[in-house]
Structure 1
Amino acid sequence: MYKTNIAVAAALLLLLNCTPGRAESENKNLTTNEKDIQAFEEMFEKGPQEEDVYRTDRLLLTATGSLKPVHLAPSVASVITAEDIEKLGATTLDEVLETVPGLHITPSFAHLDSIYSIRGIHTSLNPQVLMLVNGIPFTRPYNGTRPAGFRLPTSMISRIEVVRGPGSAIYGADAFAGTINIITKDRFEIEGIHTGMRISSFDGLNVWGQHGGQYSGWDVGIGLEYWRGGSDDKRIIDADLQTKLDQAFGTKASLAPGHLHANFENYNIMSNLTRKSWTIHLWGWFLNDYEGGTGSAGSLGPETKVDSNLFLGDITWQDNELVDNFEFSIQLNYLYYKDETIFQMLPPGTTVPIGTDGNLFSLPSAGITTFIDGVFGEPILTDQQVGVDFITKYEGWTSHVWRIATGGKIQDEDTEEYKNFGPGVLDGPEVLPVTSDGTLIGPTVNTDDIFMANQNRTVLYASLQNEWTFVKNWELTTGIRYDHYSDFGETLNPRIALVWEARYDLTSKLMYGRAFRPPSFLESYGRNNPIVLGNPSLEPETIDTYELAFDYRPTHFLQTIVSFFTYEIDGLIDYVPDPAPATTNTAQNAINQKGQGVELELKWEVIPSLTLSGNFALQDSENKDTGAPIVDAPGMQLYLNMYWNFMPEWYLNAQYFWVGERERKQDDSRKNIKANNITNIILRRKNITQHIDLAFGARNIFDEDVREPTSSDMPNDIPMERRTIYGELVYHF
């Protein structure tokens, strides 16, 4: 639908390389202070040149593993700083990420967890996006995604680096559609004590405190945050799966129409400790009593409760003085994650057919059972991961920077289960009850009756990268990474990127990369489920991506970026219906996908007190084999932002988001998902008596009824939150 003629557009933009340009006269009057000069000398080993002052781009770490100005990095990337986050008034990670070109956030069907749809790569759980904290992945090996109910406040975030496109040559698994690296604040960014409180609609409360200082030679930055959220009673589900069951069995069990239940409590603790060559990061994230939206079966069930506990720690030793021209680093990391969820899959009074294995809807049928208290399952998952990385950088060869990395990790998954249905609970027609209460039977631990046996995986890797400045202002980055998985084998992923700084105001990039995603434990080994089953024969998904980008700054106050991309995916994993009369779906490497598109970005400092920015993304993706469009993924997105310092210490920020119409599946009789738009606004007053900041904001200020796609069991899709009002107070000691 949205075909992009990449070759023609690229040729037109290449003409910019031959067009004479000039710097604005204002640049001759620009000055830098001693701190700026020192920073430039440390970064570039020279004083600031005209182009250095003219191009004040942020530094990017995620693209190559070393800091590089983002306009020279061999990737298409966005860097959002703590200052940007404050200007946006963004209170959560998702609110920040929604401003990134080509990235749209939509809730998943099961938990209302966030799906990060990038460039038309959109699946039900979205494991194709790698998320890192300080460069360390915290992906769940169980299903390849973030923790259940994951939401992250922004108070301790120093910056967020988003690389769109493949990153497996550096990071390995899951850096498929994109990589999101969250970097936390250190002592120097905090320095002192800061506290804050935010009160918002729907019984929302957010309280935090931060401290930065030095103790016994250690630079310490630490932040603690409590966050409570409630439910918007305007988020009405008109009908659900239980509505269909009621029509089939003459019952009245459905709780629809009814509003989504999404209450939660969240505690977040982050710390950053550094001393000479040592750096230690510690992160604890705890979610209590999250009500889980629509549960796992697409029916309203307010008794669903999700408890998630995550701990991530890493310790790094780094030295660049031990041997001339070498930099060595060793990093150890440990991840612990426990997810204990009570699913109310179907409400009290539901009547469903039961198979001889005790599962819902399975065949052969053993009869009908009414669940007096509802259908419940309580899977308990405990993940542990230990990893080590050895990284060496060498700069002794003129015009070359080499990066050699090797390491590995061990992943362990322990499972436990309680339930009132399924094998070991409702077995065979002889003992099948006509009614069943909510008593949960268990624990089932590592037996043939459990949803998945305990799993273990070992991953070893080695990677090589070279950055070669072969001619002045031309840099070629090449890299390759080899990964070996103990359960399915090996994979090899290369990259190559050519970056040409044609002038100090124009940079061109041509890039290719391959990435992969391994099958999750659930996709490989899931069992005893009436709907989805694992497949131990799965192969990794792979993607080959080509990108062409231009970063042009015609004046010091105006920046434009245009990025073209095209990709092909082989073996995207999906659940495919098994032959009749079975009602199950088994994981298969079922989809081959291709896509192409363009992303435009603009930032214009109209006057020193007023900045306008925005981006537009256009993508077209389809099934390579059938030509069918990829459903639920936005084909067009628009974002606009105005930031106005209209009086001393007074700031106004307005944001507008528009998401275009989206396709449905070919067998879905509903109309396409209609376009939606949201407007946000925030007013901030800083430095009241030099200690206090105040802010007032409104999200979805015009109270739009925005819907995000879900299955036909909920014919009117998932309603998003309506107008949200909040007030914020920050005190600096």
Structure 2
Amino acid sequence: MRKGCGNIAVFMTLFSCCALLPNDVLAQDELLLATSGGQAGNDLALLFSEEELFISASQSTQTLGKAPAIATVISDKQLREMGARNIFDALVTIPGFGYSYLNNISTESDIEVRGIKSRMEKVLLMIDGHRVNSPFFGSFNHLYDEFPIEQIKRIEVIRGPGSALYGANAFVGVINIIMKKIGDVEGVTLKGGGGNNQRSHANLLGALGDNGAGMVLSYDRLDTNGSRRFVPADAAGARGYTNFWRTTDTAYLNGEYGKFSFSGLYLDKQRGTPLAITNFIDPGTTRTHNKQAYGSLTYKDRIGGVDVETNIALDQFWWDANWYIGFPGFTTGHPLLKNQTWSGEVKARFSPFEHHDMTVGVVQDFQRQYDVVHTVNGVDVTSAFNHNQSAKRKVFATYLQDEWTAFNALSVTAGIRYDHYNDLGNTLNPRFAVVWTASDMVDIKLLFGSAFRAPSFLEMYEINNPSAVGNPNLKPEKMQTIEAGITWKINPNYQLSSNLFHNLFRDQIVQGSPLSINKSGATIWGVETELKSDWREHLYGYLNYAWYHSRDKLTQSVLPDVPRQRFKAGINAGCFDDLININTGLRWDGQRPRAVGDTRAPAASTTLVDFTVSSTKLVRNLELSLKAHNLFDANVSDPTVVAAGIPAGYPRPGRTIMAEASYSLK
């Protein structure tokens, strides 16, 4: 605890020094902001919402402050300067977001949003509006947890429901990664680096052509042995070390020709796991090999005053896991399967009346699970002892949204979406938002929305597993959310925002024991507050705090394994006429309560500090960086249930240090 407090003290000293800059420096920066127009002004004010374009909340271009959602935008410049290795290094800086292992196995990771812990199936991840959650898991954690940042233009994040526009999985949040297109990339950029844990990274990003006829291509390769953390006792009482090695290949293509555009992505990830799936020390046998690819073709046109967009896409997902089991007569298990999704969407945007912008759309998905195979101890047991089943799902959806600008200071957004699943039935999800610009300095938002999450093929069709059995009679999870938010632009350099929300969570899907079932759900109250500062182009910072009060509706107990409080802070400072850039961030999570019946003390609070120093001006077209994640090598473990047999919890990675160089050929 003393070490954590010391880390916070060091961090806050640096933050305070920058915050107390002389007034003449701040005045000079205000002049710079005032005189920078067009795109230069947008790039300069990276943190203040009025300068950020945002499309995910309504599928129309808006400034973040006017968007009908509680949302955050993280730009490519911020990603570089904070030293983000992947999207999750950035997401964990957002109020209310967290990242951890599951509480019963370490083979998967969780995302925590607003007091709810999930296997990432309750958050929708999109790339340029294309959803990538797999039908089997319903989530994206097996492939996208280390998605590289070099080809990203910005990340748009909605905290709260998004099913009224995006359907399933847009439950507690929506993440939309906006990739770089023609006009965002000049020439070719080569990047390479290495660090401890035998970590190596290489990236190639390039562009050909120009707007209207051109393409952007990128390729990324990551290799690491992972941080070997000591485990004092596994489920059998044995000592050992984690074995979380990873190898990831990511390729991306975006092309434009006239009114047509195409985007394609391919991910290939092999990795170990901190512990075996049975919570034994892994002898090096465990390996998961997951792949995902998609191609998406879009046509946009304006016909008679109506903006029309049509899209057709094909997704392919491969899951190949070689588990070390370690039981007598059952040493290894090797389940495999494939998912395929064909999807199509047609949407139109028009203004039927003055001050009204309407969006209407139709969506059709065809999902298929096939080639489900299971091998045990090298013997094919598919016909007698398979792990899951072949499955098909058809989804039809239609949505309607009206954005009404009642007058300059008031806008009202109302929408509704209808989804029909051939295996689950129908669901209807409305949304309503009022955004009031009370003054030039204050924006107020009142929001209501409902959301749903369809059960995954894993939850419905898992078989022959003594610890988890699927249930084809599961109902979708449901959520209703009421939110109120206020943003106050204190002066040109500071902005304070705060929001209050209430979630009513119903029909929660609980996997295991062993049958997957729907239970009553939970209620969650929460407050999120953030202070942002922007003094000049390379001098900005943030402080945010989140507090949650959650209750299981059946037991009235606190939801386990998620901290009730989170505090985060970060600062970026350009030094020596911006020759050197320094960025540091801190994340503090409060104690995490245990589940009902677990008499152990709550899991301890944690403090993590990241630090990056970089330069883009030492040599023309060359960028150098040195990154340290978990700078003070904090010993952090994620809480486990008693049945997991790991009383100390799953250890997170230790200090990671990496040096990188990037050179642009323009």
Normalised by the length of structure 2, the TM-score is 0.91
Instruction: Kindly provide the amino acid, as one letter, of the partner of residue 239 in structure 2.
Output: P
The alpha-carbon deviation at position 56 of structure 1 amounts to: 3.8
In structure 1, what is the equivalent of residue 206 of structure 2? Answer: 211
The change in CA–CA distance for 1:275 and 1:727 in structure 2 (over 3 A counts) is: same
Tell me if structure 1 keeps the 8 A contact 2:239–2:281. Answer: no
Residue 479 of structure 2 corresponds to residue 499 of structure 1: no
Among 414, 419, 422, the alignment partner of 2:370 is 414
In structure 2, what is the equivalent of residue 332 of structure 1? Answer: 312
Among 549, 560, 564, the alignment partner of 2:500 is 564
In structure 2, what is the equivalent of residue 231 of structure 1? Answer: 226
In structure 2, what is the equivalent of residue 632 of structure 1? Answer: 561
Whole-angstrom CA distance in 2 between matches of 1:700 and 1:513: 37
Whole-angstrom CA distance in 1 between matches of 2:348 and 2:57: 17
Instruction: Kindly provide the amino acid, as one letter, of the partner of residue 135 in structure 2.
Output: P
Whole-angstrom CA distance in 2 between matches of 1:231 and 1:481: 43
In structure 1, what is the equivalent of residue 379 of structure 2? Answer: 441
In structure 2, what is the equivalent of residue 75 of structure 1? Answer: 69
Among 327, 338, 343, the alignment partner of 2:323 is 343
The change in CA–CA distance for 1:448 and 1:496 in structure 2 (over 3 A counts) is: farther
Residue 550 of structure 2 corresponds to residue 621 of structure 1: yes
Unaligned runs of 5+ in 2: 1-26
The change in CA–CA distance for 1:537 and 1:87 in structure 2 (over 3 A counts) is: same
Residue 567 of structure 2 corresponds to residue 651 of structure 1: no
Among 640, 653, 656, the alignment partner of 1:721 is 653
In structure 2, what is the equivalent of residue 432 of structure 1? Answer: none
The alpha-carbon deviation at position 216 of structure 1 amounts to: 11
Tell me if structure 2 keeps the 8 A contact 1:110–1:298. Answer: yes
Whole-angstrom CA distance in 2 between matches of 1:697 and 1:265: 20
In structure 1, what is the equivalent of residue 5 of structure 2? Answer: none
Instruction: Kindly provide the amino acid, as one letter, of the partner of residue 341 in structure 2.
Output: Q
User: How many residue pairs align between the two structures?
Assistant: 631
Whole-angstrom CA distance in 2 between matches of 1:100 and 1:690: 33
The alpha-carbon deviation at position 453 of structure 1 amounts to: 1.7
CA RMSD of aligned residues (A): 2.3
User: What SS does the corresponding residue of 1:546 show, helix, strand or coil?
Assistant: strand
Tell me if structure 2 keeps the 8 A contact 1:93–1:154. Answer: yes
In structure 1, what is the equivalent of residue 10 of structure 2? Answer: none
Whole-angstrom CA distance in 2 between matches of 1:608 and 1:693: 17
Whole-angstrom CA distance in 1 between matches of 2:537 and 2:220: 34
Q: Where in structure 2 are the equivalents of 1:569-648 lying within 5 Å?
A: 569-575=505-511, 577=513, 585-606=514-535, 610-648=539-577
The change in CA–CA distance for 1:190 and 1:67 in structure 2 (over 3 A counts) is: same
Whole-angstrom CA distance in 2 between matches of 1:441 and 1:696: 48
Tell me if structure 2 keeps the 8 A contact 1:194–1:211. Answer: yes
- Larger deviation, residues 459-468 vs 604-613: 604-613
Q: Where in structure 2 are the equivalents of 1:88-99 lying within 5 Å?
A: 88-99=82-93
In structure 2, what is the equivalent of residue 197 of structure 1? Answer: 192
Normalised by the length of structure 1, the TM-score is 0.83
Whole-angstrom CA distance in 2 between matches of 1:387 and 1:79: 27
The alpha-carbon deviation at position 184 of structure 1 amounts to: 1.1
Whole-angstrom CA distance in 2 between matches of 1:39 and 1:100: 20
Q: Where in structure 2 are the equivalents of 1:174-189 lying within 5 Å?
A: 174-189=169-184
In structure 2, what is the equivalent of residue 166 of structure 1? Answer: 161
The change in CA–CA distance for 1:238 and 1:625 in structure 2 (over 3 A counts) is: same
The alpha-carbon deviation at position 293 of structure 1 amounts to: 2.4
Instruction: Kindly provide the amino acid, as one letter, of the partner of residue 242 in structure 2.
Output: L
The alpha-carbon deviation at position 539 of structure 1 amounts to: 0.8
Q: Percent of counterpart pairs with the same letter? A: 25
Instruction: Kindly provide the amino acid, as one letter, of the partner of residue 340 in structure 1.
Output: D
User: What SS does the corresponding residue of 2:516 show, helix, strand or coil?
Assistant: strand
In structure 2, what is the equivalent of residue 17 of structure 1? Answer: none
User: What SS does the corresponding residue of 1:190 show, helix, strand or coil?
Assistant: coil
Unaligned runs of 5+ in 1: 1-23, 41-50, 244-255, 351-369, 421-438, 578-584
Tell me if structure 2 keeps the 8 A contact 1:187–1:211. Answer: no
Tell me if structure 2 keeps the 8 A contact 1:149–1:306. Answer: no
Whole-angstrom CA distance in 2 between matches of 1:25 and 1:613: 21
Whole-angstrom CA distance in 1 between matches of 2:373 and 2:537: 60
The change in CA–CA distance for 1:727 and 1:598 in structure 2 (over 3 A counts) is: same
Instruction: Kindly provide the amino acid, as one letter, of the partner of residue 379 in structure 1.
Output: P
Runs of 4+ that moved beyond 6 A: 24-29, 37-40
The change in CA–CA distance for 1:687 and 1:167 in structure 2 (over 3 A counts) is: same
Which has the greater radius of gyration? 1
Instruction: Kindly provide the amino acid, as one letter, of the partner of residue 653 in structure 2.
Output: E
The alpha-carbon deviation at position 34 of structure 1 amounts to: 6.9
Tell me if structure 2 keeps the 8 A contact 1:708–1:718. Answer: yes
The change in CA–CA distance for 1:68 and 1:411 in structure 2 (over 3 A counts) is: same
In structure 1, what is the equivalent of residue 14 of structure 2? Answer: none
Tell me if structure 1 keeps the 8 A contact 2:429–2:451. Answer: yes
Tell me if structure 1 keeps the 8 A contact 2:48–2:534. Answer: no
Tell me if structure 1 keeps the 8 A contact 2:319–2:337. Answer: yes
Among 125, 128, 145, the alignment partner of 2:139 is 145
Residue 590 of structure 2 corresponds to residue 685 of structure 1: no
Among 361, 384, 393, the alignment partner of 2:349 is 393
Tell me if structure 1 keeps the 8 A contact 2:30–2:535. Answer: no
Tell me if structure 1 keeps the 8 A contact 2:402–2:415. Answer: yes
Q: Where in structure 2 are the equivalents of 1:356-435 lying within 5 Å?
A: 370-371=328-329, 375-420=331-376
Whole-angstrom CA distance in 2 between matches of 1:64 and 1:216: 25
The alpha-carbon deviation at position 305 of structure 1 amounts to: 0.9
